């Protein structure tokens, strides 16, 4: 099983809503990542978890809150987002944080903030 | 600072070879990667090369690295319509270091 599964695929939310994005991998990978990607742009790193601990927060606004309940799951909790937060949110995993370039990506959750 | 540059567009005929080019500025880059992103999908790691290598071949893909010029290329032989995608070049200084991404090259394959 070499998949990273993300749900939901599409999400529309208002600026006052609270929602969550979910990501799951069963490859035994110990590092998991959240990236944000705007149209026609490269992905931007948001957060890195290594062995279920938050290793990197790329100065992401607090309206984005990551959570890693166990080594297979990664969540991104969303609250009070702005329209400019509309983007494709990609989850990725790697064998460990020593393999930061060898990423397995999910298909992404496309978020629209109204 | 660290920067990775790519041309934005490439158009080829089906069956021809495609060559996608990338330049990077960080001479400390130790790993260089090629990712593919099809429309509406996530990114897929195609291949990567370590900085002490000049070339790597994997089926239809050939990666060439010129460390002196900090130039990386991805050649796709016998390009097919299924190769139409955005190709991202990325570099890193090594383990535990985040990727520096290029803006991506949009490859269009015409029948």
- Mean pLDDT of all residues belonging to chain A: 94
> A77-91 pLDDT, tens per residue?
999 999 999 999 999
Chain B residues within 8 A of A48 when measuring between CB atoms: 98
Task: Give yes or no for a contact between B29 and B35, defined as CB atoms under 8 angstroms apart.
Answer: no
Neighbours of B15 (CB within 10 A): 11
pLDDT band (50, 70, 90) for residue A108: very high
- Cβ distance of A101 and B42 shorter than 8 Å: no
Chain B residues within 8 A of A39 when measuring between CB atoms: none
- Cβ distance of A41 and B44 shorter than 8 Å: no
pLDDT of residue B66: 95
pLDDT band (50, 70, 90) for residue A2: low
**What CA–CA distance (Å, rounded) separates A81 from B43?**
25
pLDDT of residue B95: 64
In tens digits, chain B (111 residues) has pLDDT values of 679 999 999 999 999 999 999 999 988 888 999 999 999 899 999 999 998 899 999 999 999 999 999 999 999 999 999 999 999 999 988 666 789 999 999 999 999
Between A1 and A88, residue with greater pLDDT: A88
Please tell me which of the candidates A45, A100, A107 has its beta carbon nearest to residue B41. A107
Task: Give yes or no for a contact between A15 and A113, defined as CB atoms under 8 angstroms apart.
Answer: yes
Chain A residues within 8 A of B50 when measuring between CB atoms: none
Please tell me which of the candidates B86, B95, B101 has its beta carbon nearest to residue A98. B95
Chain A residues within 8 A of B44 when measuring between CB atoms: 105
pLDDT of residue A94: 94
pLDDT of residue B28: 84
> A7-41 pLDDT, tens per residue?
999 999 999 999 999 999 999 999 999 999 999 89
B103 and A CB contact within 8 Å: yes
Burial B54-77 (b: 16+ CB within 10 A, else e): eeeeeeeebbbbeeeebebbbbbe
- What does the DSSP assignment read for A27-54? S--SEEEEEEE-TTS--EEEEEEETTEE
Chain A residues within 8 A of B42 when measuring between CB atoms: 4, 90, 92, 105-108
**What CA–CA distance (Å, rounded) separates B90 from B35?**
8
Tell me the sheet residues that pair with A42. Answer: none
Range list of β-strands (E), B38-99 = 43-50, 55-58, 61-66, 71-76, 85-92
- In a mutagenesis test of the B interface, which of A46, A100, A101 is the best target, namely the one with the most B β-carbons within 10 Å? A101
């Amino acid at each position: 099983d070499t998949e990273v599964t993300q749900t939901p695929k599409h999400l529309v939310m208002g600026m006052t809503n609270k929602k969550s994005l979910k990501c799951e991998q069963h490859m035994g990978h110990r590092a998991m990542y959240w990236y944000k990607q705007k149209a026609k742009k490269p992905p931007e790193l948001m957060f890195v978890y290594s062995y279920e601990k938050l290793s990197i927060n790329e100065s992401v606004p607090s309206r984005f809150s990551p959570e890693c309940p166990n080594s297979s799951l990664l969540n991104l909790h969303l609250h009070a987002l702005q329209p400019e937060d509309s983007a494709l949110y990609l989850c990725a995993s790697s064998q460990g944080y020593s393999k930061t370039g060898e990423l397995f990506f999910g298909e992404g959750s496309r978020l629209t903030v109204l | 600072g660290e920067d990775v540059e790519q041309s934005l567009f490439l158009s080829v005929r089906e069956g021809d070879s495609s060559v996608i080019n990338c330049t990077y500025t960080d001479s400390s880059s130790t790993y260089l990667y090629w990712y593919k992103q099809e429309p509406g999908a996530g990114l897929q790691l195609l291949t990567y090369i370590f900085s002490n290598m000049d070339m790597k071949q994997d089926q239809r893909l050939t990666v060439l690295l010129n460390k002196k010029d900090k130039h990386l290329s991805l050649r796709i032989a016998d390009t097919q319509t299924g190769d139409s995608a955005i190709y991202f070049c990325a570099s890193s200084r090594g383990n535990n270091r985040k990727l520096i991404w290029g803006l991506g090259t949009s490859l269009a394959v015409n029948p």
